[in-house]
Chains A and B, each alone.
Chain A
Amino acid sequence: MTASAFRAVLARELRLALRHPADTLAAVLFFVLVCALFPFGVGPAPEALARLAPGALLAAALLAALLPLDRLFGADAEDGSLDQLLLSGLPPAGIAAAKALGHWLTTGLPLIVATPVAAALLNLPVAAWGAALAALGLATAILSLLGTAGAALTLGARRGGVLLPLLVLPLAIPAVIFGAAAIEAAAAALSPAPFLLLLGAGLSLAAPLAPLAAGAALRAE
């Protein structure tokens, strides 16, 4: 019963995202535009761009993934759907987990699809594209989880949209460091595996803890 309720909530998230693709498109556009603006600021020297590319990719992707987060629970809270979800028999942590997975599928995954375009704009060596896809996949998943907890905590707070990045981004710093390090390693023809494994460890830590924190915050709401 809990599993089917989880699937129902997730299916509704995906259906709503398909019906209103503007949020997803805005995040992808933001990501690509930031990466397109970088060469103008840094100058067109290919080596300088390639040096900055890993960090720029990570920072742009995480900021883009943050965009739809402040409405993650807000829309449901305003129209009364959140009350119904809390009475659905699905534990609050399960609701949060479904929301986090939905956020990753509708924001993180499209960002990964757009990564080759962004990587080309930043002159990232093609040899490092695989590592970039893996690093961004793991880092955006971590951000979806942390962001869900942040969105649940700031729900109902005045200026929640300002509070949310302040709360979430500091926690996401390790994901930026290890993600960029993985891409740099691959660009230097070294193995990105250790850094990707560290990202994976972060993800496996956030996967159970963030929904629990978000669930507790939703219950206290």
Chain B
Amino acid sequence: MLEARDLACVRGERGAVFAGLSFRVPAGGALLVTGPNGAGKSSLLRVLAGLLPAAAGAVLWQGADIAADRAAHARRLRYVGHHDALKPGLTVRENLGFYARLWGGEAGPALEAVGLAPLADLPVRVLSAGQRRRLALARLALGLPGDGGAALWLLDEPSSGLDAASVARLAGLFERHRARGGLVVAATHLPLPLPQAAELRL
């Protein structure tokens, strides 16, 4: 279970982004974070990932503060940020293979899961924006909970640039993840295939 207590975030030049934020996401649950541009959706995800310290309040995982053991928290989460974190000069397989080496798992099946297997040996430079997004999302398919995979997915606009077929594939990934007790927190403007998701408006 992921819990936020009285969370506040301050960004240097922007000042206070949000404050007094509290919510709970149970195992198998999903939380949609919505709100206008600049409301702090991305900052919230970064705080939940432990990439950004909370100005006040705490993020708890199973009741324990994540700041106490950031490395353990990092191991249990996958973060797909606003940027795709891809190297244009490396091939599709090499890009994903790096994360497979870091986290375990096989690049091949993960590429199948997002429908990029036929493009595995192309450099990422030639991919379209939607295909890059799918490659970034393929990191989610590297090891799911139950086989030692990550339990918490933090997604920043996961479906931006995706076609209908890719969103359907994403729905399958979400469903499997949540069926195994995984959590999804997604910041989005677009409708996402996350049934019974709670919504947090910033």
Contact = CB atoms under 8 A, between A and B. Distances in A.
B133 to A, nearest CB: 12
A19 B94 CA distance: 12
A220 to B, nearest CB: 9
B152 to A, nearest CB: 11
Interface in B80-108: 81-87, 89-90, 94, 98-99, 101-103
Contacts of A87: 49-51, 74, 77, 79
B71 interface: yes
A212 to B, nearest CB: 16
Chain B, interface size: which category? 20 to 34
Contacts, number: 62
A55 B25 CA distance: 63
Contacts of B180: none
Interface in B98-122: 98-99, 101-103
Interface stretch (A4-12, A25-33, A147-155): A4-12
Interface of B: 46, 49-51, 71, 74-75, 77, 79, 81-87, 89-90, 94, 98-99, 101-103, 139
27 contacts: A4-B101, A5-B102, A9-B102, A12-B87, A15-B90, A16-B87, A16-B90, A19-B90, A78-B83, A79-B83, A79-B84, A79-B87, A80-B81, A83-B46, A83-B51, A83-B85, A84-B85, A84-B99, A84-B139, A86-B51, A86-B74, A87-B51, A88-B74, A88-B102, A89-B75, A89-B103, A91-B71
